[in-house]
């Protein structure tokens, strides 16, 4: 017997999916909330056994490890990323695999951008944000934000929920997945809030902005975002919430497992 809850979710997903199909057929081929105050935990090697690569659980999930490369708001590989992997606590990875199982029959897939983030990477963000002369990637990732205000506006913080291992940044991609536009250091930059056919050609569905867009347009419920983009955001949020995640209102791509196993522990082992 199908539960009332499941029926409601299925009906809502069907509506969102109809918009997704339309977008896929006609399209062209952040702020990080400060974590609760807590001491930084020590990170012995044994702690790494609580984590798993999501592709070990489900190899169909795509991984675009933005901080392993240089197409990110720093414009360089971030400290602590030694491999292009998505590591999560086993609980978060298992929940994510369930979301993927919902999407696959729709010819859709998850794509992760960032998962577990070592504290040393967060420290790299902080030191970069304090270097006001480094605005190499401003035009794409924070075009309307004065870099001096990144801390004040909440885009950069000294602690991140990602370091607790149960937070993931992700989007949805239509299958078969098209190749995203390659980025090469020095390529011309385009504002992250431009229409999908004008901003960087990621292969995600049109969520209204690119990933890591430091702009109000990235707020999940921003009413100025088009109806199709809102439906795509709703599909992602609905499925993630169904399997135990909660969204950060300022970033449509950012989700944390509600019952995260390490709510006060900020890890620092590298992604490898």
Q: What is the DSSP string of the chain?
A: ---HHHHHHHHHHHHHHHHHHHHHHHS-----PPPPP-PPPP--GGGGGGEEEHHHH-TTSEE--TTTSS-STTSSPPTTB-SS--EEEHHHHHHHHHHHHHHGGGTEEEEEEE-S--HHHHHHHHHHHH-TT--TTHHHHSTTS-GGGTTTTTS--S--GGGGT-EEEEEEEESSPPPPPP--TTPPP--TTS-TTTS---SB---SS-TT--SGGGSTT-TTS-HHHHHHHHHHHHHHHHTTEEE-TT-TTEEEETT-S-TT----PPB-
Strand 62-63 to 108-114 pairing = parallel
251 is catalytic: yes
Catalytic hit among 102, 140, 251, 260? 251
Is 254 marked as binding a ligand? yes
Check whether 71 is labelled as a binding-site residue: no
Cβ atoms < 10 Å from Cβ of 9: 16
CA distance 266 to 18: 40
Task: State yes or no: 153 annotated in a binding site.
Answer: no
Residues in the annotated binding site for Zn(2+) = 162, 169, 254
Active site residues: 251
Residues of each annotated binding site = 162, 169, 254
């Amino acid at each position: 017997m199908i539960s009332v809850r499941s029926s409601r979710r299925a009906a809502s997903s069907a509506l969102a999916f109809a918009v997704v199909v339309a977008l896929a057929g006609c399209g062209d081929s952040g702020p990080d909330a400060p974590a609760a105050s807590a001491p930084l935990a020590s990170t012995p090697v044994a702690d790494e056994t609580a984590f798993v690569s999501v592709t070990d659980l489900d190899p169909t999930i795509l991984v675009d490890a933005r901080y392993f490369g240089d197409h990110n708001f720093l414009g360089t590989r971030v400290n602590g990323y030694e491999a292009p992997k998505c590591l999560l606590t086993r609980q978060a990875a298992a929940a994510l695999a369930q979301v993927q199982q919902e999407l696959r029959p729709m010819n859709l897939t998850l794509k992760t951008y960032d998962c577990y983030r070592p504290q040393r990477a967060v420290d790299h963000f902080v030191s970069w944000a304090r270097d006001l002369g480094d605005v190499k990637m401003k035009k794409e990732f924070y075009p309307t934000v004065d870099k001096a205000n990144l801390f004040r506006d909440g885009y950069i913080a000294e602690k991140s929920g990602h370091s607790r291992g149960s937070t993931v940044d992700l989007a949805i991609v239509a299958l078969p997945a098209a190749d995203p536009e390659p980025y090469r250091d020095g390529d011309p930059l385009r504002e992250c809030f431009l229409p999908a056919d004008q901003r960087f050609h990621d292969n995600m569905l049109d969520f209204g902005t690119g990933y890591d867009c430091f702009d109000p347009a990235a707020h999940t419920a921003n009413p100025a975002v088009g109806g199709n983009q809102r439906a795509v955001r709703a599909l992602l949020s609905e499925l993630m919430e169904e399997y135990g995640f909660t969204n950060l209102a300022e970033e449509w791509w950012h989700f944390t497992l509600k019952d995260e196993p390490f709510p006060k522990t900020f890890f620092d082992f590298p992604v490898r």
